[in-house]
Structure 1
């Protein structure tokens, strides 16, 4: 039976592919596989969150359909958290919407704003959901390469005006997946002004706001002058509270964008199970004010530092990220990121994500996730270092920056990156 033509243009989702390959290896009897590919926290969700779910799930009153926008009690808790954490006031009635994880909102916002022929601007490398939402909406993707020399921020001046004039959405994500970079205040002021002048919706993925290191503190888009007027922010419970499988997030900001997203969501799903929303409220009320977030940060910082020390011991250059749960690691000069990832899995039984899973500018790197036990991080990085010494015995790669055209490498995709 023929499928929709747009599905034929979709590349396989890289993390589903990796999961399938790991499954096949284990079926063949390979047991000692270290998975540094996916970002699934290894520690359990906090006890108060689990207890709240159990208590509220036992109440039949919570077994009905939830509100499409999300229950008011959780939207109020989210608004209160934004006031405590970022010092901004948001209206829980009109500027907050509960999501089945932030990925859902990041995908569906393009369905609300992008029509066939419109342009969506996305960073490269970036989380694949930005690209995929634009693709399903019938839009055309224009990628903005993120270069180390610019601190992994896009060069807006390099975007041709004929493309910018067709743009309806622009996606940003800081702390940035996969590089871990943070955005400086002057860049954020520039992008807000740029989007306001062109009436482009700024979609800000702030999933890692609570995972920063060395005294860095991530900001909300809404803290910047004009941010609320041009953008909507997406926040997540997955990494902050080890709630990846619960599927809980929120969109906060521009009220018209919230209403437009609600139109799409109400046609696609029926909202978040009420007990999960109660659990999310407990995370914000009880867990966040305690020491749990700081313990999380210190755990990931220790894993980061231990891994960086192992790479430094063999002279392999890896940037020290100020945030997220990832390392962005250069590959040997004579290998592509996919070749390197494949050989690591086949010969050393270590799973990493090839940089091209996040866009063409990811070539030359692989992403390592630190969301596995300390001993697995140590074991996996040690195996990678052994492979690097074997595959590039002369030492560090000549350049950790992939070759780029001058200015912006505009890629009008007919299919997503995967």
Structure 2
């Protein structure tokens, strides 16, 4: 059978490929593997959320096809959470849509707004779904390098006039995957003005809004900024916030016209989200957010991050300390690129990491570590990585403008 041309130009999804390699190793009898590859939370979903699913799944009234947009009950509580968390008023009728995880919305938004000849602006490095959605929609992807030198912020004004004219979408994600940085308010204000001036839809991936390490510096929503709702839509997920990765629940919030366009696409592709999952999501938004769970989870991630950063500091390895997310963006030894170092760690040290090129060419000299495994595994895996780095005996493999720093962290 001949594949469609678009599939011929699409590389295998990196995380599916990593899963397959780990599976093959375990099938061969190798068990002592530390997996820093995929951001799959290691702690279980809170009991109250699971109980709500069980109770509502037992009710035959919830076994029918759900609403394409998500139940009004769910959307009302998303809007209420936004009011409590950010002080933003959201219309649940017109400005919220439920998603089968935020990845679905981040992919589908391009199907709604990108045509052949259009441009989608994508940070590099970034979550692969941004790029893939534009690709499947027939558009052209223009990558925007994120480096230490530019504070991991894209240079929008540096784009040529033709690209600005053709651009239909701009994807942003802060706290950022994979670098862990926040976007300063002045950057967000300038970006909103840029999108308004060039009629570009701003797609804001806010997956890590509740994974931060300084309670005095919480991540801000796009919709908190003046004009944010006029030019954009924000995507949230229950996966990282509530350890509900396998449940596939998220939402898009923002511009009414954009929400309606997503609804058109979704109604042609899926048949909605099982109602009990939405009920369980409401329990997460109401009960779990008011419990000690979010704070305790952040503290545990902070403990893991602190250990890793201290070990890298001890061997003199320059790793940027994240402000949020569950990731570390680690430069490779000078004699190995990201894919080579990832292969070396897996084959010789039984540690799984994602090569930086999974997130774009700017990541060629990096690997990403996801610290979503228990503390004991983090200690074991980080110690192995540091041993590998020391044996390589090479300085971090980063461009000169990124390594000219006296501080080590």
TM-score by length of structure 2 reads: 0.97
Q: Secondary structure at the match of 1:240?
A: helix
Partner of 1:185: 185
User: CA offset at residue 399 of structure 1?
Assistant: 3.5
Q: Please say if 1:237 is aligned against 2:238.
A: yes
Deviation, structure 1 residue 29:
1.2
**Residues 11-37 of structure 1, C-alpha deviations (whole Å, 9 max, x = no match):** 000011111111111111111011001
Partner of 1:109: 109
Q: How does 1:141-156 map onto structure 2 within 5 Å?
A: 141-156=141-156
Question: Which residue number in structure 2 is paired with residue 407 of structure 1?
Answer: none
- 1:397-412 → structure 2 map (5 Å cutoff): 397=396, 399=398
Relative contact order (C-alpha < 8 Å, sep 6+): which is higher?
1
Whole-angstrom distance in 2 between the partners of 1:85 and 1:75: 15
The C-alpha deviation readout for 1:76-131, integer Å capped at 9, x for no partner, is 00000000000000000000000000000000000000001100000000000000
**Equivalent-residue separation in structure 2 for 1:287 and 1:77 (angstroms):** 13
- The RMSD of aligned alpha carbons is 1.1
Tell me if the contact between 1:192 and 1:227 (Cα under 8 Å) persists in the aligned partners: yes
Question: Does 2:386 align with 1:385?
Answer: yes
Gaps of 5+ in 2: 403-409
Measured against aligned partners, the alpha-carbon deviations of 1:15-68 in whole angstroms (never above 9, x if no partner) come to 111111111111111110110011000000001100000000000000000000
Q: 1:401 to 1:227 in 2, by over 3 A?
A: farther
Q: Which residue of 1 aligns with 2:88?
A: 88
Aligned length: 401
Determine the structure 2 residue equivalent to 1:132: 132
Give how far 1:224 is off: 0.3
Residue equivalent to 1:160:
160
Q: 2: distance between equivalents of 1:229 and 1:202?
A: 9
User: Who is 2:75 aligned against?
Assistant: 75
In the TM superposition, what is the alpha-carbon distance from 1:397 to its structure 2 partner? Answer: 2.1
Describe the superposition over 1:197-231 as per-residue Cα deviations: whole angstroms up to 9, x where unpaired.
11110000000000001232000000000000000
Report 1:357-372 matches (<5 A).
357-372=358-373
Q: TM-score, normalised by structure 1?
A: 0.95
Aligned to 2:262: 261
Counterpart mapping for 1:2-401 below 5 A: 2-215=2-215, 216-392=217-393, 396-397=395-396, 399=398
- How far 1:402 sits from its partner (Å)? 8.3
The Cα of 1:382 is off from its aligned counterpart by 0.4
Which has the higher mean CA deviation after the structures are superposed, 221-230 or 284-293? 284-293
CA pair 149-402 structure 1, distance change in 2 beyond 3 A? closer
2:212 alignment partner, SS class: coil
SS at the partner of 2:241? coil
Report how far residue 400 of structure 1 moved: 5.9
